[in-house]
Amino acid sequence: MASDGGFTGLETGLPACDAEMSLGREQPEQENMTADRLPRPRIPVRVCLLGATGTIGRATLRTLMRRGHEVVCFARRRPGGALAVDGPEIRLVDMGDPVSIALDGFRGERFDAVVSCMASRTGAPRDAWAVDHRAHVNVLAAAQRAGVGHFVLLSAICVQKPLLGFQHAKLAFEAALIAADLTYSIVRPTAFFKSLSGQVERVKRGKPFLVFHDGTLTACKPISNDDLADYLADCLADDRRWNHVLPIGGPGEAITPRQQGEALFALLGRKPRFRHVPLALLDGVVGALSAAARLAPSLSEKAELARIGRYYATESMLVLNPATRRYDAAATPSTGTETLFDFYQRLVDGRTALERGDHAVF
Ligand SMILES: NC(=O)c1ccc[n+]([C@@H]2O[C@H](COP(=O)([O-])OP(=O)(O)OC[C@H]3O[C@@H](n4cnc5c(N)ncnc54)[C@H](OP(=O)(O)O)[C@@H]3O)[C@@H](O)[C@H]2O)c1
Distance 78 CA to ligand 1 centre (A): 14
pLDDT score of 312 more than 80: yes
The whole-model pTM stands at 0.88
Residue in 48, 49, 50, 53 to alter for ligand 1 test, most ligand atoms within 8 A of Cβ = 53
Mean pLDDT within 333-352: 96
Q: Which residue from 118, 131, 158, 232 has its CB within 8 A of the most atoms of ligand 1, so it is best to mutate?
A: 118
Kindly give the distance from the C-alpha atom of residue 117 to the centroid of ligand 1, in angstroms, as a whole number: 6
pLDDT at 180: 98
pLDDT of residue 25: 28
24 lines ligand 1 (CB under 6 A): no
The domain spans of the chain are 35-192+224-248
Quick one: pLDDT at residue 82?
76
Measure 81 CA to ligand 1 centroid, in angstroms: 10
362 lines ligand 1 (CB under 6 A): yes
Residue 165 pLDDT level (bands cut at 50, 70, 90): very high
**pLDDT recorded at residue 234:** 97
Ligand 1 center–CA 3 separation, angstroms: 32
Looking at every residue in the chain, the average pLDDT score rounds to: 88
Ligand 1 geometric centre to CA of 359 (Å): 7
**Is the pLDDT at 152 greater than 80, yes or no?**
yes
- Tell the residue nearest (CA) to atom 18 of ligand 1: 54
Closest protein CA for atom 21 of ligand 1: 54
Q: Is 54 in the pocket of ligand 1 (CB under 6 A)?
A: yes
Nearest CA to ligand 1 atom 9: 156
The pLDDT of residue 24 is above 70: no
At 56-77, the pLDDT tens digits run 999 999 999 999 999 999 999 8
In the predicted model, is pLDDT for residue 19 greater than 70?
no
CA 157 to ligand 1 centroid distance, Å: 15
What's the pLDDT score for residue 29? 33
* Cβ of 131 below 6 Å from ligand 1: yes
117 lines ligand 1 (CB under 6 A): yes
Highest mean pLDDT of the ranges 8-22, 37-51, 85-99, 257-271: 257-271
116 CA from centroid of ligand 1 (Å): 9
CATH class label, 35-192+224-248: alpha beta
Quick one: pLDDT at residue 217? Answer: 96
Three-state secondary structure of the chain: CCCHHHCCHHHHCCCHHHHHHCCCCCCCHHHHECCCCCECCCCCCEEEEECCCCHHHHHHHHHHHHCCCEEEEEECCCCCCCCCCCCCEEEECCCCCHHHHHHHHHCCCCCCEEEECCCCCCCCHHHHHHHHHHHHHHHHHHHHHCCCCEEEEECCHHHHCCCCHHHHHHHHHHHHHHHCCCEEEEEEECCEHHHHCCCHHHHHCCCCEEEECCCCCCCECCECHHHHHHHHHHCCCCHHHCCEEEEEECCCCCECHHHHHHHHHHHHCCCCCEEEECHHHHHHHHHHHHHHHHHCHHHHHHHHHHHHHHHHHHCCECEEECCCCEEECCCCCECCCCCHHHHHHHHHHCCCCCCCCCCCCC
Span from the CA of 155 to the centroid of ligand 1 (angstroms): 10
| Per-residue pLDDT tens digits for 208-227 | 999 999 999 999 999 999 99
| pLDDT over 70 (residue 160) | yes
Span of 4-13, 191-200, 311-320 with lowest mean pLDDT:
4-13
Q: How far is the CA of 249 from the centre of ligand 1 (A)?
A: 18
Looking at residue 40, its pLDDT comes to 55
